[in-house]
Structures are given as structure tokens and as C-alpha cells.
Amino acid sequence: MSISAFIALRYTQAGTKQSFVAFINMFSIIGIALGIAALIIVLSVMNGLEGQLKKRILGIMPHVIVDATPPLVLPNEISTKVITQLLYVEREVIVQSRNNINGLIAQGTDISAAAEHSVIAENVVSGNWDSIKSGSFKVAISRILANQMGVDIGQDLRVISTNASQYSPLGRIPSQRLVTIGAIFNVNSEMDDKVIIMHIEDLARLSRQKLTGFGQTRIVLKDAFDYQSISQHLDEKRIKYQLWRDRQGPLFDAVKMEKNMMSLMLMLVIAVAAFNVVSALVMVVSEKKPDIAILQTQGMLPTDIMRVFLFNGIFNGLKGVLGGVFLGLIGCWSLNYLLEVLGTNLAFGENGQGLPIDIRYQQIIIISLVAIVLCALASWYPAKKAQSITPANSLSNE
């Protein structure tokens, strides 16, 4: 440890015995700690909510739909980002029960191939996902939609295709078919009551088309937000495609903007607390003028004096950062328990359990480094003032 850092550390420890300076110093450290703790908790909750939106909405909605049948040949660097490719098609349909009628999107896919990577298959609450086989004309619908339509497992729905029709003695009528409910799922997504899942061969029959050349390629990405490279590749190959952003981009942009604005506001709180270090250090410099003069007469350079007070501010910042990280992590781990004790029942997490919390330690590291840099910047002015003190004037005043 350098002599400047050693003296600065002694000053931070000795300050606790001096009431007024210690009081201001303590409150600047508490302010930094509370600001960092609040920022960690808010970011962790918003990360969790964003992750739930990503899983629920983008689990039902295709990440990328390509106007070609699988498999697509992709470069190795892109293939590593892809989980699987599925034969897939979407059709607008009208679904009718005895009690209700609804306009929905019928998603046709290879049910057995999709089972391993489907959020819907993971959240089946009634019936059997594997019962939706080719030729069975069984479908999967959400629990919300089942309640709206007044149906349950084993009951029938009439599905009317808006894209296909047939001629009859009464004229042209839409293609339609009775289907049986084989599975009911509950993803808790805003897309739950907008889709109905069918086997792609059954949907081809309903659409009165041959399976050959019917459908597109649904690409499931490991990270739905990491779509830029595959989008660029498809643009270069001039292949038509559709991204999830075309439908749900504004929602996730709004969530990201809200998270950024909350981060900015709480970072300003940390900045205000960090610049409270200025007032504390100015008073410390004023109080330590005799010490500064004695150190200079003993041969300490003005730059070393400046470093003493820079280190003093940084050490105070470190105290606030460590305290804030500790409080933030404790707050994240105990937040749902505290909400339960207070009787605030929030059901945004997995299976409707409390708030989703996603602690990202790289964010905590960035927050901590920014706070320390702010404390160092705040310490610059008092440190420069300490450097400019002349021993003769200071000791003569004593």
C-alpha cells in the first residue's frame, strides 16, 4: 500500500470519532448504499419480468418464419444459435362452439418434433400433447380459451378456414371441420387466447392443400433477441422471412425503454449521493490542514497530498458500494417473502409464484464500477484544494 492510500485509510477510520464530519460522511455512504441496493432490486425484477415475457410470448410466437421448407442450410456460426427447425404454417380460422365463436390463428406443426422445444408442451395442464396426431383432428387450446368457449377435454369445436372454400349446391362455402380437444395448456401469455395448435397434416387437409410444398420453416433460436446474424444471412440470400419483432417488437422496446429510464433515474440518485462526498471531503480537508502542513514539511509532495483525499473519497465509495451490493442481494433474495408477509400477492413468476427475480452479476459489477468512478470524480475538487494548501499559511493560522 502506498503512503497516500495508507493515510487515506487511517482518515476514513479516524473520522468515526469526530461527530459532525463523521455524520456527513456516514450519510453520503448510506446514500450510495441505498441507491445501489434500489437499482439492483429494480433491475433484477425488471430482468425477471422481461424474461417471463420473453418465455411466454416468444415461446408461443415463432422467432423466425422463413418462406421455405426445412431444413435450411445455415453457416456454422449461425447454426450454433439455432435450437431446431420445424415445418410450420399459420392460418387464420374461425372457431365455433355451442356457446361462443372466436377468430384465432391456427398453428400447424409436427407435434412430436415440437414437443421437446415447445413452451406449450411444457405447460399442458389437461389432456395429452402427444394425442394430437396426424389424422386425429385433435387440437390444443389454452385454458383461457377453453373457458371462453365453454369446452373441455374430449369435446368438439368447429374450425372454419378463412383461406379455403369448397363448392356446394348452396354455393361457395368455407372449408370447415369438427375437431376434438386433445390438450389444454396454460402459459399465462397474452397469446394464450389467440392460438389453436393442430398437426400440420390436419391443417393442410382443412386448407385443402397437399402437404408437399405446404408450410414454412419455423426457426427456434437459443436466444430470441439474438436474431441479427440470421436476419442478415437471409437478407443476403434474398429469402423472405418474418421475425418476432414484426409483431411484438414495440412491446419489448417499451419494456427495454422503461428499464433504461428506471436505471437512469436510480443512477442519478447514486450520483447525488456520490457528490455528497464533496461536502464531506471539503470539511475533512479544512479540518486536516495542520496534518497536511506537517506532512508537507516532512517531504510529502502536493501530488501525494492530492492522492490522500482521492483515496479517501474512493474508500468511502467502496464502503457504500459493498453495503449497497449486500443490501441489494439480500433484498432480491427476500423480496417475495416480504411481499407475502405484507399481504401483497403478485403472481408474475413461474406458475404464478410471486415476482420473477433475475440477478445478473455483470450488471452489479457495472453499477459498482460506475459508483466508484462517480465517487472518484466527486473527490477531485476537495483533493485539488488540499494540494494547494501551503504549510506556512496553515501553521501560522494554528
Residues 228 and 287 in one domain: no
Its pTM stands at: 0.77
Q: Output the pLDDT for position 159.
A: 92
Neighbouring C-beta atoms of residue 271, cutoff 10 Å: 18
Instruction: Provide the 8-state DSSP code for 71.
Output: P
CB 380 within 8 A of CB 310: yes
Residues 345 and 388 in one domain: yes
Last residue of a domain, which of 243, 273, 301? 243
Instruction: Provide the 8-state DSSP code for 70.
Output: S
In the chain, the amino acid numbered 36 is: I
Residues 70 and 159 in one domain: yes
Our count of domains for the chain comes to 2
> Could you list the residue range(s) of the whole structural domain that residue 81 is in?
64-243
Q: Output the pLDDT for position 207.
A: 85
Would 80 be classed as within a structural domain?
yes
Residues 174 and 152 in one domain: yes
CB 25 within 8 A of CB 15: yes
Give dist(CA 398, CA 390) in Å, integer. 13
Q: Output the pLDDT for position 20.
A: 63
Give dist(CA 113, CA 87) in Å, integer. 9
Q: Output the pLDDT for position 37.
A: 93
The grid coordinates of residue 391 equal 504549510
Residues 158 and 287 in one domain: no
Give dist(CA 272, CA 140) in Å, integer. 54
Coil, helix or strand at residue 345: coil
Residues 276 and 295 in one domain: yes
Would 111 be classed as within a structural domain?
yes
CB 185 within 8 A of CB 123: yes
Would 358 be classed as within a structural domain?
yes
Q: Give me the tens of pLDDT residue by residue for the chain, a chain 398 residues long.
A: 688 788 777 777 655 455 566 777 787 788 889 989 999 999 999 998 888 888 888 888 889 999 888 888 888 889 899 998 998 999 899 999 988 899 999 999 888 888 888 888 888 999 999 899 888 899 999 999 999 999 999 999 999 987 776 666 666 778 888 999 999 998 888 888 899 999 999 998 888 887 777 788 999 999 888 899 999 999 998 989 999 998 888 888 888 898 888 888 888 888 888 777 777 777 777 777 777 777 877 778 888 888 888 888 888 889 899 999 999 999 999 888 888 887 776 656 565 567 888 999 999 999 999 999 888 888 888 888 887 777 666 555 55
Residues 83 and 106 in one domain: yes
Neighbouring C-beta atoms of residue 104, cutoff 10 Å: 18
Residues 109 and 85 in one domain: yes
